[in-house]
Amino acid sequence: MIFVVGESEAGQRLDMALAALADISRSQARRWIDEDRVRVNDRSCAASRRVGVGDSIEAQPPAPIPAKIAAEPIPLVILFEDEDLVVVDKPAGMVVHPAPGHPSGTLVHALLYHCGTLTSVGGVLRPGIVHRLDRGTSGVLVAAKSDLAHLGLARQFAAHSVERVYRALVRGVPKEDAGRVDRPIGRHARDRKRMSVHARSAREAHTAWRVTRRFVRSDRAWLEVRPETGRTHQIRVHLASVGLPIVGDPVYGRKGRAELESSLQRPALHAERLGFAHPRSGIRLCFDAPIPEDLAAILSALERREEMG
């Protein structure tokens, strides 16, 4: 879709101008911009950019996603399940819910097959989904089977009362045993698929970290990470911002990788623990997911290298 800005759109924000020209809602226009599907004069721009007469706006709408999601018999590792919720150990590489480019094979498709039904509070494309893990992140995730559970869990995530513990293998060896990053996160000004701590429009974000193992010979460290807020890519962005990029991260990590990590096909980030109050009973629950084989293998290799020294 290619449009040329006329006098009636001149001076408007990009999302407003695109909505008018493409006959779509402003929220949809902003979503396209955030997904880096829109160029102005062949350059990525923020939704707040003002357009001028003669500007060329090129948009690539996402492929349509079926309104009804079909259940798929995809194996799941179930850590807990009752009438209200289900807790799973999500493998790395699995997308949580349908999105452009991922119309099938997601966790939602697998949950619908396993559970039969999920709460619809999250919308037709995100049934049962209260929180997400990035595609490349493995570990504990809870989904809601009832509306009561969805609303109750959502309130806990909003209040930051959910315990979340991650493990991350990073490049660099911090001198400090622990630290925290308190830097707002928002969309990158030029690359809308990335997040940044230097964004013009950002939301507060807080991440605490602690070193549990140093691999000095390999310039690596194994961290326990506790995100206190839930921003997109938060852990990956925050650790990279303090010079501790996650090993294997193709977006926020450094280019090149060590031989030991050559087989790793995703960021070395694992959601190890999730704790919350059951939305019906109020009983505190806590679930742990073991370190997956790909990360365990790298850690073992790093240990051996340290012992050789």
The encoded tokens of residue 270 equal: 């694992």
Query: CA-to-CA distance for 132 and 150, rounded, in angstroms?
Result: 13
Which is nearest to 148 in space by CA: 81, 83, 84?
84
Q: How far is CA 70 from CA 86, 114, 146, 291, 299, in A?
A: 19, 12, 19, 31, 38
Task: Give SS3 for 118.
Answer: coil
List 38's β-bridge partners, or say none.
Answer: 59
Rounded CA gap, 65 and 289, in Å? 32
**Cα dihedral 105→111→112→118 (10° resolution):** -130
CA–CA dist 293, 289 (Å, integer):
12
Q: Is 147 a catalytic residue?
A: no
**φ and ψ at residue 178, rounded to 5 degrees:** -155, 165
Catalytic residue among 134, 147, 219, 294: 134
Show which residues are catalytic. Answer: 134
